[in-house]
Amino acid sequence: MVSRGSAPRRAVAAAFLLPVLAGAPARAEVAARVVPLQVTGDPAKRFNLILLGDGYTAADMPKFRRDVADQLAMLFAFEPWKSYRSYLNVYRVEITSGESGVSCDPEPGDKIRRTPLGMAFWDGCDREDMRRRLVVNAKAAEAYADLVPGAADRQIVALANSTTYGGTGGTYATASGGNAMASLIMPHELGHTLGGLQDEYDYYRRGVPGGAYAGSEPDSIQHTVLTGREMREQHRKWWRWLGEPSTSGGEIGRYEGGMYATKGVWRPSEHSMMKTLGYAYDQVARERMTQAISAKVSLIQASTPDGAPIGADRVVWLETMHPVDHRLRITWRLDGRKAGARPYLDLARLRPAPGRHTLTGEVTDPTGFVRDPAIRSSAALTQTRTWTVDTRVRTPEAATPVVFGDTTPESTDVGADDVIYAETTHPTRSVPVVHWRLDGRPVAGRGGDLALAPFHLDAGTHTVTARTGAKTLSWKVDAQRPEVSYELSRPAAVTGGEYVFDERFTMRLTPRDSGGPALAEFQVDGDGWFRYFGWPDDPAAPFVFTPLGTEIDHLVYGKLGRPARATPWDEMTPGYGRHTIEYRAVDAAGNIGETQSITVVLRHRSPGRVGTPGSK
């Protein structure tokens, strides 16, 4: 993982007593080590993501570190986490377990392990429940998360040392650390825990269709019994997004099944993250997640004090949050008239008439991820400060050194389309000038920030510097697009550049990036980008495509063509014929590689025709 926050601070070690919840409750002294991975600000002013490990012995700890890196790389490749990761501090808590693994893995009668967090499959080894319900002891999780100082607003994620698929949402999100699809579980479960999103599965227990929904209009934002016309006429649910191309493939509309029912209730997209792991959040879920993440911080982090009247002879300022890829919109109004749009306002230049005036500074997030005006105007995305300006008040002279304050951390790569910020101290009578340079040449920023997207940076590494007073900051910009190569099983024929296969074929994607780790993704016939993870029961194996897909643990993977097939009871035409597979890579700096494509033809194997095994 390439951190988008500051360089990891010194790890904090601690040891204390807490129950080890496996079998009969016991007490044991367990050492834990807190490692900051990304620190973008004061924990009291940030949303703090705390990842705990359970069932990792001292010998397993390198694996835990890799598991965490994989989880974060995947999480921050999905929107809106990608754009708002600067709102988060991220901490890894290394808890040394006396036993390797967690309880009831993979069967309810399997070994009970004495681990610090007491994690267990089968909802705590209940053979009447489901294997995938991976739970954690709440008190233990809280106790270890408390080792991160000042992180009052936090999300706890507990990773189990297991390759068995599982995870849950709720107050505490859980996921299997070593499963092939493990890194896809966490963003799904955070959809539940943070965003209040509901599952879009059409089953509750795998392999058992959920039946018909017989209730009234659901509270769930991504489920309805309304028709598309009713949604539009009544301005309800996802009416603002209807007809848009879905970010998870297909079109935003009505697709039957969800909330564990196969019939009688509809969802917005055919296969979003809340239905099928590997796809992105669709617009409905993404809007909610944008609101939820933003609500965890204050858009206005600091400002000129507003508790008493201020003079008209001074500069008024705001310090705001800074999304990774766009600016917040600032609007100053003096007595209702627009007066400025930067993080500071020099009242002396405005020369207000003698007397008292009302000054407001409004900060709004203009993100295109949100269309609902009620969400846009909520405190999550819009905040205002108000001052009384009195021309009789004289602002005392104060000697304020001009230095940098909060900035984009220098210790990390910056993406080619990011916005770098460098806030300064705030003299009362002047605005410090920040001098920006890109690869040594002067460029114009907006005072304390510089948007890189308008420069259309050439591929490669670039250097940005900011100077104010005697201090200079420097950032490395990663504008190198990641690459990905593909490997197919041996075709029966290659005709006109098209690969011809009989009944099945495999595809392996290998991403690479000069700046660090990268992820690969593909889409079939334009039906939504799907994160490549190998194969569900073997991350080292290639992905397998067949006409109707392969059933693994009562779910279906690799059905070729549109529509996709997720469960065995999905009836559809086999995917024989010609198909286009697009593929690309995404790196840790957020750069998306060039989209490339291959064309495959899947033939029905007739008697006497034999495919040739092997690899390309």
Report the DSSP beta bridge partners of residue 421.
Answer: 449
Report the DSSP beta bridge partners of residue 33.
Answer: 13, 94
Rg (CA), the chain: 27
Q: Give the H/E segment covering residue 144.
A: helix 138-145
Residue range 483-603 in CATH 3.40.640.10: no
Residue range 32-195 in CATH 3.90.380.10: no
Residue with tokens 């080890």: 20
Q: What are phi and psi of 74, to 5 degrees?
A: -70, -45
Cβ neighbours for 75, distance < 8 A, ≥ 6 positions apart: 81, 183, 186, 187, 190
Q: What one-character DSSP code corresponds to residue 387? A: E
Residue 57 structure tokens: 């012995």
- What residues in the chain have per-residue pLDDT under 50? 1-10, 12-29, 608-616
Judge if the upstream peptide bond of residue 427 is cis by omega within 30 degrees of 0. no
Cβ neighbours for 99, distance < 8 A, ≥ 6 positions apart: 55, 57, 113, 114, 115
Smallest Cα–Cα separation from 438: which of 397, 476, 493?
476
What pLDDT is stored for residue 335 in this prediction?
98
Q: What is the 3-state secondary structure (H, E, C) of 459-479?
A: CCEEEEEEEECCEEEEEEEEC
CB-based contact 417:305 (threshold 8 Å): no
What pLDDT is stored for residue 25 in this prediction?
35
Cα–Cα distance, 516 to 478 (Å, whole number)? 10
Smallest Cα–Cα separation from 480: which of 511, 442, 521?
511
What pLDDT is stored for residue 28 in this prediction?
32
Cα–Cα distance, 522 to 532 (Å, whole number)? 7
Please report, for residues 170, 335, 385, the alpha-carbon distance to residue 305 in angstroms, rounded to integers and kept in the order given.
Answer: 38, 19, 10
The model's pTM is: 0.92
Other C-beta atoms closer than 10 Å to the C-beta of 152 total 9
What pLDDT is stored for residue 607 in this prediction?
55
Q: pLDDT by residue (tens digit) across 27-67?
A: 334 789 999 999 999 999 999 999 999 999 999 999 999 99
CB-based contact 404:320 (threshold 8 Å): no
What pLDDT is stored for residue 448 in this prediction?
92
Burial class (CB in 10 A: 0-12, 13-18, 19+), 193: buried
Residue 129 structure tokens: 């429940």
CB-based contact 418:464 (threshold 8 Å): no
Give the β-pairing of 404-407 and 543-545.
unpaired
Cα–Cα distance, 366 to 309 (Å, whole number)? 30
CA 461 to chain centre: 25
CB-based contact 453:447 (threshold 8 Å): no
Cα–Cα distance, 37 to 12 (Å, whole number)? 12
Q: Where are the chain's structural domains?
A: 32-195, 204-284, 300-390, 404-478, 483-603
Instruction: Using CA atoms of 282, 419, 70, 41 in order, give the dihedral in degrees to the nearest 10.
Output: -110
Cα–Cα distance, 441 to 78 (Å, whole number)? 34
CB-based contact 30:20 (threshold 8 Å): yes
Cα–Cα distance, 501 to 286 (Å, whole number)? 37
Smallest Cα–Cα separation from 86: which of 591, 476, 589?
589
Judge if the upstream peptide bond of residue 25 is cis by omega within 30 degrees of 0. no
Cβ neighbours for 134, distance < 8 A, ≥ 6 positions apart: 102, 119, 120, 121, 160, 162, 166, 167, 168, 174, 175, 176
What pLDDT is stored for residue 17 in this prediction?
36
CB-based contact 70:62 (threshold 8 Å): no
Maximum Cα–Cα distance across the chain: 98
Cα–Cα distance, 363 to 378 (Å, whole number)? 11
Other C-beta atoms closer than 10 Å to the C-beta of 17 total 10
Name the CATH code of domain 404-478 (choices 3.30.70, 2.60.40, 3.30.110, 3.40.50).
2.60.40
Cβ neighbours for 456, distance < 8 A, ≥ 6 positions apart: none
Give the β-pairing of 315-320 and 344-346.
antiparallel
CB-based contact 260:203 (threshold 8 Å): yes
Tell me whether domains 32-195 and 404-478 share a fold: no
Residue 391 structure tokens: 């021309």
What pLDDT is stored for residue 117 in this prediction?
97
Smallest Cα–Cα separation from 323: which of 371, 386, 366?
366
Residue 34 structure tokens: 């807190």
Top-tier CATH class for 300-390: mainly beta
Q: What one-character DSSP code corresponds to residue 43? A: G
